[in-house]
């Protein structure tokens, strides 16, 4: 168990963490994709509901 903890600490020191600027960029990208997916699914559902109302 001690060896495992030692290796985890070693790996955590070698990890390169994103800067604040990079995190804001990545967060904006994620929110943009979420919004685009929401618009896509809303439009798709609206078309399907409209088509079903024609039946």
For residue 10, what pLDDT is reported?
94
Please report which confidence band the pLDDT of residue 28 belongs to, taking 50, 70 and 90 as the band edges.
very high
CB atoms within 10 A of CB 46: 10
Contact yes or no for 26/18 (Cβ under 8 A): yes
pTM reported for the whole predicted model: 0.68
CB atoms within 10 A of CB 27: 10
Please report which confidence band the pLDDT of residue 37 belongs to, taking 50, 70 and 90 as the band edges.
very high
Residue with tokens 């904006």: 28
For residue 2, what pLDDT is reported?
86
């Amino acid at each position: 168990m001690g060896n495992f903890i030692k290796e985890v600490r070693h790996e955590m020191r070698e990890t390169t963490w994103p800067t604040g600027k990079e995190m804001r960029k990545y967060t904006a990208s994620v929110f943009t994709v979420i919004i685009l997916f929401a618009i896509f699914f809303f439009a798709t559902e609206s078309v399907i509901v409209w088509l079903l109302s024609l039946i």
